Every structure is written in C-alpha cells, then in structure tokens.
Amino acid sequence: MTSLMLAEAREAPERVAALLRADAAAYAALAEVLRARPPAFAATVARGSSDHAATYLASLLGIRAGLATASIMPSLITRYGARVSLGAALVVGLSQSGRSPDIVRTLEAASASGAMTAAIVNDPTSPLAAAAGHVLAQHAGPERSVAATKSFICTLAAAARLIAVWQEDGALLAALGRLPERLEQALACDWSGALAVLAPAHSLYVIGRGPGLAIAAESALKLKETSGLHAEALSAAEIRHGPRAVIDSGFPLLVYALADAGGADARAFADELDAAGAAVLLASPEPGPGTHLPLPAPLHPLLDPIVAIQAFYPLAAALSVARGLDPDRPRGLRKVTETV
C-alpha cells in the first residue's frame, strides 16, 4: 500500500504546473517593487522544511540578485523583545501552514520596521499571509502527511519563479516551464541501491554545496523524521573543517553531485571518501564513485536541486518501511507545529 507521504510526493509535478499557471500578477507586482526599491539585503524567517527552502532562496538571491541573506531567529523578537533594524531589507516568511506564532510575529515586526515583506505560504488565508505585504501561494493543495514533500517542492519553485521574474531571466523562466516534466522523470529514477547501505545504518552525512546544500538539509530532516536516522547535512567545504574526522570505513554518505560548481566540489569529496572506504551514495546525472543514485539530465543549475529532492522522496518512504517504520506516523511529530 502506498504511503500518504509518497502519494503526495507524486503530486508535485502537477502542483508545480498549477503554481506556474497562477498568480502572474502577484509575481509581477513584487518584482516591480523590488526593481523600483532595491533592498540592501534580504532576510528569511522559517522553520523545518520551510527553513531549508529559505536556504535555497538565499542561494538564489545571492547568485542572481547579489543580495546577502540572513536567517532571522524568531526568538530575537518573541523571547527577547529585540528591535531588529530591517527597514532596508526584503524579508520573506516561508511556511506550509502559515500558522506558527513566532514566524507570524517576526514578519509583523519586520513590516513594522519598514521592511518590504513577502510570504510564500500554502494557505493564503493564514495569519502569515495577512502579515505580509506580498503573498505568493504555494498551490501544493492539502498536505496531510506529517513529512512535507510537495509543499517543499512548490516552495522552491515559487522562490525560483520570483527570482526569474524579478531579474527578468528568460532562460530561468523557460526552464521553469519544463520543470514539471523533469519532476516526473525524477520520480522514475531508481534509488533502491541505497537501501542496503541505509537500512542498517545508525547515522550518515548528507553532502551538498551551493543551492544543493538546501536539499541536503531537507534530505537529512526527512531521514530523521521517517527513518529515525541521525542524519546531518554539511557543505562539501564545511565538512573539511572538523566533521571529516568522524568518517571511517563503511560510514554512509549521501552526496548530491549536481551539475554546477558546488556539485563538482561534492563529487570531488565523494571521490576522496570512496577511496578511503566510506559508503558513498552518489546522487548525480552521471555515474561516479560509490553507488550511483541516478538523476535526470540537467535542466538548469538553479532548478536541478528541485529535481534531485523529488528523486529522493521515494527512497525516504521506502527506507522507512525497510526499517520497520511508518513514514506517515513519525514519532512525536504532528503536521502543524506552532512555536512561540
């Protein structure tokens, strides 16, 4: 029987297609304001999978718009009463439900300080949407699985669309139009070769760099949530600053070697660790060291991470079952988490 998590992940291509058909005026309006009043920097506020989507957005803002992006700790506002100076910033709140009080209050504080604010949210009637100056709907449809899948992918697609419209990037817009088809191809990728390595594992590293680091973080979270694995996401550069010492013979590594500069760094690290005897699982369009987890042909360097996480979700659901767990019933978790 197909898990709810996997069924919802399989909806992602059609939900992204719906997102790309809708809300042209909302994207154009926000892009016009951003061009007329260029922000000095950007900031994001999010938790969980949405915070990983914020990491992806931060990469795109830096690469395409030249903006440094900070992740705001909501406790600065909600627990310590700090008055954070955000008047020169673009502040984006990201959430599936839009109902966590700390995220909402932080975006309200940003608006009060004069920031340009936006929300990427699945529920456009939520408190977070009400707190934002601009709302970009995820169009993921109802998501009942505790482990977010299609809403995460739709959030990434919305972030990429915002950048493409704002920067008037025709190549990225054209590639977005082909994204639903590429997501379908990703669902057909066979990652079952990873099960023999991960089913008995106790911990692993998930490696990425650049925009790929966001999906490494999302993959690690899903492995924790649905398979009880202690998974840690690390940059292919950061891992050399200490965490490399943990890796010994047979240690599992899921490496996202995507077709960009950061992906090349991840592949080089995979080569090194494979030679040292680590259990390398290489997610890449082309075979390389270790066990190959195939990906579709590259679409666009900024969109390939979205395709890669789509290929990962079926593995996460299958691994949960292989470890005797239920991906739809993560221990101690519920769908909507409200923190203050």
Are both 242 and 289 inside the same structural domain?
yes
Q: What is the pLDDT of residue 239?
A: 74
Question: Cβ(176)–Cβ(21) under 8 Å?
Answer: no
Average pLDDT of the segment spanning 241-245? 67
**How many domains is the chain built from?**
2
What pLDDT shows up at residue 247?
82
Distance CA 187, CA 292 (A): 16
Query: Residues 55, 92: one domain?
Result: yes
Q: Please state the rounded mean pLDDT for residues 262-269.
A: 94
335 lies in a domain?
Answer: no
Domain boundary among 164, 186, 208: 186
Q: Is residue 331 part of a domain?
A: no
What pLDDT shows up at residue 337? 56
Q: Which of 129, 163, 186 is the last residue of a domain?
A: 186
- Please tell me the predicted confidence (pLDDT) of residue 216: 98
Across residues 207-218, what is the average pLDDT?
97
Average pLDDT of the residues in 272-292: 94
pLDDT at 245 over 70: no
Same domain (yes/no): 140, 214? no
Residues 160 and 197 occupy one common structural domain: no
Distance, in Å, from the CA atom of 7 to the CA atom of 337, rounded to the nearest integer, reads: 22
What mean pLDDT comes out for the span 35-60?
97
Q: Are residues 67 and 162 in the same domain?
A: yes
Residues 131 and 203 in one domain: no
Residue 339, pLDDT score: 60
Tell me, yes or no, whether 214 and 166 share the same domain: no
Judged against a pLDDT cut of 90, whether residue 338 lies above it is answered with no
Residue 336 lies in a domain: no
Cα of 10 vs its chain's centroid, Å: 17
Task: Give residue 334's pLDDT band: very low, low, confident or very high (50, 70, 90).
Answer: low
User: Does residue 337 lie within any of the structural domains?
Assistant: no
The residue from 186, 214, 233 where one domain ends is 186
The two most distant CA atoms of the chain are separated, in Å, by 55
- Kindly tell me if the per-residue pLDDT of 333 is higher than 60: no
- Residues 159 and 99: their CA atoms lie apart, in Å, by 20
274 lies in which domain range? 189-322
At 127, list the tokens: 């408190």
Residue with tokens 């991906």: 327
Residue 197 confidence (pLDDT) above 80? yes
- Return the sign of the alpha-carbon dihedral for residues 18, 171, 89, 51: positive
- 115: domain CATH number is 3.40.50.10490
Exposed, middle or buried, 327 (CB in 10 Å: 0-12/13-18/19+)? buried
**What pLDDT does 332 receive?**
54
Backbone angles phi, psi at 143, to 5 degrees: -125, 110
Are residues 253 and 160 both part of a single domain? no
Residue 163 within any structural domain of the chain? yes
Average pLDDT of 198-212? 96
Classify burial at 298, counting beta carbons within 10 Å of its beta carbon; exposed 0-12, middle 13-18, buried 19 or more: middle
Residues 16 and 27 in one domain: yes
Q: Is residue 233 part of a domain?
A: yes
Helix ranges restricted to H, the chain: 4-10, 12-21, 24-36, 49-65, 75-78, 101-112, 127-131, 150-166, 170-187, 195-198, 212-227, 261-275, 304-322
Amino acid at 26: A
Question: Could you tell me which residue, 335 or 85, shows the higher pLDDT?
Answer: 85
Q: Based on the domain organization, do 14 and 162 belong to the same domain? A: yes
Q: What are the tokens at 54?
A: 């914020």
* Residue that is written with structure tokens 């978790």 in the block: 333
Q: Are residues 134 and 224 in the same domain?
A: no
Please write the tens of the pLDDT for every residue from 124-166.
Answer: 999 999 999 999 999 999 999 888 999 999 999 999 999 999 9
| Average pLDDT over the chain, rounded to an integer | 94
Residue 334 lies in a domain: no
Question: 256 with 126, same domain?
Answer: no
335 is annotated as an active-site residue: yes
More confident residue, 99 or 239: 99
Query: Residue 336: what pLDDT?
Result: 54
Which has the closest alpha carbon to 169: 67, 322, 318, 63?
Answer: 63
Neighbours of 21 (CB within 10 A): 9
- Answer yes or no: is 122 within a domain: yes
